[in-house]
Structure 1
Amino acid sequence: MSRAGVTPARIVGTAADLADADGLAAVTLSAVARVLGVRPPSLYAHVAGADELHAALTALALDELADRADRALAGLAGRDALAALAQVHRDYAREHPGRWAAAGALDRPVTDDLARAGARHHDQALAVLRAYAVAPAEQVHAVRLVASVLRGFVQLEAGGAFGHSDPPPDGSWERALDALDAALRTWPPVERSRDRR
């Protein structure tokens, strides 16, 4: 592959494929350069360094997830929308484990692409909440709950945590979605503050 064929999109795509094949930790500038058939310094014409490469990979994964979620959420509301969004994340993690890991690695420099991709996910979560009576001041807490349950379950499943006991995890998945749906339907109408003194 010639140096002329190296573009930012190919670099990030190669990084994504490496992450899926060998894990997110395997994504280095040297490894990407090796796959592309160039010397590592050649990549610096397109990415400033490893931090920028990883931020671009995270943005790519978030965009791919958001594209799938846009299609899955069309015309749905309530628990159906919640389940569709959740299934997108679960399926993506199974198909693209390295990209899934990158999508959750948000300790990256906040580039314009990363901010835009993150905003898409925020908007999708708010769209799911529209069918529930969650007050605007409480929506951030509801979004965090949904994200925590989905990422936690999928990450545990991907790591093999549910493979050592019966029944299979699908029943637990449905119960988790039922519990989230119930929590959103009965969300407290006002923010509860606690005296931390």
Structure 2
Amino acid sequence: MTEAGAALVDEIGFEQLSMGLLAERLGVRTPSLYRHVASQADLAHRIAVLAMTELADAVRDATQGRSEKEALAAGAHAMRTYVLIHPGRYAAGNAAIVTGPEDPLVPAVGRVLESWTAMLHGYRLDPDQSVHALRMLRSTLHGFAALEAIGSFQLDTDLDESFSWMLDFIDQGLRARRPDPLPAR
């Protein structure tokens, strides 16, 4: 049922999720859904866990065996692609709130952070800069992908060109923050 809900929110938008629409999609009566989930909030939370798990896998697989700018670009493209293909479930992942230490969202989000942290390791940043770098990456990549997903970029300039420009900018910034900066390649 989580998969069906995730597919539905990718089509109609996370904000439009309702148990009635999901029941209609599945060809069942709405009350029968409650045998599988406690509430619409429970379903939304399950979709969020699925989304963060899928995103973690995509970023990990893309960055594995790569370093620095190559890993940054691969992970960023993986995230951008995920958001464009799965906008509803990605929105669910961003809307979810951790309910406690046993919440399955905790390890799912942790895996996303681990993938980005591993990618950043190649930049040899001072360890106390890692959280700042992670926040910058999340904010920048999320902003670009989320705006693209809703069609907010109106200028005629090619989006792929803008995305590459942004990645070059991030790469240069990360290199400049090293204790011993190396020249750009």
Structure 2 length normalisation: TM-score?
0.88
> In the aligned structure 2, how far is the partner of 1:117 from the partner of 1:17?
19
Q: CA RMSD in A?
A: 1.7
Contact residue 23 and residue 29 of structure 2 kept, 8 A: yes
> In the aligned structure 2, how far is the partner of 1:39 from the partner of 1:71?
39
1:57 maps to amino acid = I
Shift of 1:155: 1.2
- Runs of at least 4 residues off by over 4 Å: none
The counterpart of 1:160, out of the listed 110, 127, 151, is 151
> In the aligned structure 2, how far is the partner of 1:53 from the partner of 1:108?
14
Aligned: 1:56 with 2:56: no
Contact residue 133 and residue 187 of structure 1 kept, 8 A: no
The counterpart of 2:141, out of the listed 142, 150, 155, is 150
Shift of 1:38: 2.2
Match for residue 29 of structure 1?
19
The counterpart of 1:47, out of the listed 14, 25, 37, is 37
Unaligned 5+ segments in structure 1 are 1-10, 190-197
Aligned: 1:78 with 2:78: no
Shift of 1:160: 1.6
Greater CA deviation, 63-72 or 142-151?
A: 63-72
Secondary structure, aligned partner of 1:45: coil
Give aligned pairs, total. 178
The counterpart of 2:3, out of the listed 1, 13, 18, is 13
Provide Cα deviations, 1:10-63, integer angstroms capped at 9, x if missing partner.
Answer: x11111111111111221222212222222222222211111111110111111
> In the aligned structure 2, how far is the partner of 1:39 from the partner of 1:166?
47
Match for residue 167 of structure 2?
177
Secondary structure, aligned partner of 2:79: helix
Provide Cα deviations, 1:115-162, integer angstroms capped at 9, x if missing partner.
Answer: 111010010111011111322222111100000000001111122222
Match for residue 103 of structure 2?
112
Contact residue 68 and residue 123 of structure 2 kept, 8 A: yes
Shift of 1:108: 5.6
> In the aligned structure 2, how far is the partner of 1:106 from the partner of 1:54?
8
Match for residue 138 of structure 1?
129
Aligned: 1:97 with 2:87: yes
Structure 1 length normalisation: TM-score?
0.83
User: Percent identity, aligned pairs only?
Assistant: 39
Secondary structure, aligned partner of 1:144: helix
Unaligned 5+ segments in structure 2 are 180-185
Contact residue 9 and residue 88 of structure 2 kept, 8 A: yes
